[in-house]
Amino acid sequence: MDRPILDKLVAEVRQFHNRDFLKAAMAVCALAAVADDEVKPSEHHRVNHALSMEPALMALDSEKALDTLYAYIYALRTDRPSAAKVLDKKIRRMAGNRNRARTLMRVAYLVIAADGEIHEKEREEFWRLCHLLDLDPRQVWPELAS
């Protein structure tokens, strides 16, 4: 087989695989950010930081990720029930991969804790997102047990 074509095929498969992960990661961020009905600059900063520091997210196109995040937040603000259903589907696709699911929830935790205040609605959303991913929330965020 022609090596350049094979290399392109591998790159395209990775891109499609990463596209689903990018969408799930930004869906988790958007849902975590709007959980308390307020999106703060500190939450945007945490997403930027996670994109540049979290190994599983560093491979993603940060500009595309942020564009996706803003589109999801806008959708949640304009029609939350419908948008949440769509985002939940994107997140559920990662349920079969424990490492990816835990990474998503670490990012969600960073967004939720970004402003230093953790509201009950944010805890509830974290719990809900973990269940979408078939994770025990206490294994990701031990303080939830207390």
Q: Give, in degrees to the nearest 5, the angle at Cα 139 between 34 and 104.
A: 40
Taking only the tens place, the pLDDT of each residue in 52-78 is 776 667 667 778 888 999 999 999 999
pLDDT value for 102: 87
Question: Any idea which of 4-18, 20-34, 36-50, 120-134 has the lowest mean pLDDT?
Answer: 4-18
Q: What is the mean pLDDT of residues 81-98?
A: 95
Q: Give Rg (Cα) of the chain.
A: 16
Please name the CATH architecture into which domain 3-145 falls.
Orthogonal Bundle (1.10)
pTM as predicted: 0.82
Please give the Cα distance from 130 to 137 (Å, whole number). 6
What are the domain boundaries of the chain? Answer: 3-145
Task: From 17, 26, 111, select the one nearest 66 (Cα to Cα).
Answer: 26
Query: pLDDT per residue over 37-52, tens digit each?
Result: 877 787 777 777 777 7
What is the average per-residue pLDDT within 74-99? 94
Q: Is residue 5 predicted with pLDDT exceeding 60?
A: no
- Please give the Cα distance from 23 to 69 (Å, whole number): 8
